[in-house]
Amino acid sequence: MLRQIIFLSAFFLFTMPAFAERVEVLNWQSLIPKSEPLVNPLNNLEISVRLDIEYLATVHYWFKTGQITKVSTEYEDGLELEHQLKDKKIDFEPLIAEYNEFLDEIERRNKTVVKELEGKMVKIPGFALPLETSDTAVNEFLLVPTVGACIHTPTPPSNQMVFVELKQSYKPKNLYDPVWVTGKMKIQSTKQSVVYSDGEAGIETAYILVGTQIEPYQEIIEIPPLPTN
């Protein structure tokens, strides 16, 4: 009988890991599909001309989206800049069109996802940003790649933010806690509202992580294999 108990214990000890779902350790680059690097089409221009074209493209965008009108200072500055570029014999309209296509491609890429991550068990580090400033435990938060993201710095692209749903509540010690989150990844866009002391921001995320474990961040040190003879 004792032999049977020892045998069964050894069997489960050595066979259980084989049935456990493999957890893939990710970094933030893992959330971005591989693609050819983008090159600003204005890079071959003189720096002063490039900056003029970029600013003029911005003014056109502001006017198109109703952020400024024909009586706005920025609109008048844009008209003056157009006259200056014409005097220099610079055909700025095609350049603005190329630059806008470049920006559109950046925006498109910022929303693309790695489809192969759907349904995978993963472990990823980041900074936990609660949706509301609170002293209580939370079941939902944003996982972001940098300290201050969404509040003190520009909002990261949607494929560089993960909406985390925890199965067990987590109480962060600070507004931003570096953590490891383990769970099942879902490719699904969400819109979240982050409330903080001096404002509110609408945030789009491209991933959802159903978290099964959260732990304080510690760097994973890979131990190199022993040399073979």
Among the candidates 62, 77, 109, a domain finishes at: 109
In-domain check, residue 34: no
Determine the Cα–Cα distance for residues 209 and 187; give it in Å rounded to an integer.
Answer: 9
List the pLDDT tens digit at each of the 229 positions of the chain.
434 333 333 333 333 344 457 899 999 999 999 999 999 999 999 999 999 999 999 999 999 999 999 999 999 999 999 999 999 999 999 999 999 999 999 999 999 999 999 999 999 999 988 877 666 788 888 999 987 665 556 788 999 999 999 988 887 777 677 899 999 999 999 998 777 655 667 889 999 999 989 998 887 554 455 555 5
> 0.85 cut: is pTM over it?
no
The whole domain housing 72 covers: 47-109
In-domain check, residue 5: no
Q: How many domains does the chain have?
A: 2
In-domain check, residue 22: no
How far CA 185 is from CA of 30, 111, 161, 207, 215, in Å, comes to 12, 16, 12, 7, 17
* CA 52 remoteness from chain centre: 30
CB 187 within 8 A of CB 112: no
> E strand or H helix at 186, and its extent?
strand 177-196
Question: Are residue 64 and residue 122 in the same domain, yes or no?
Answer: no
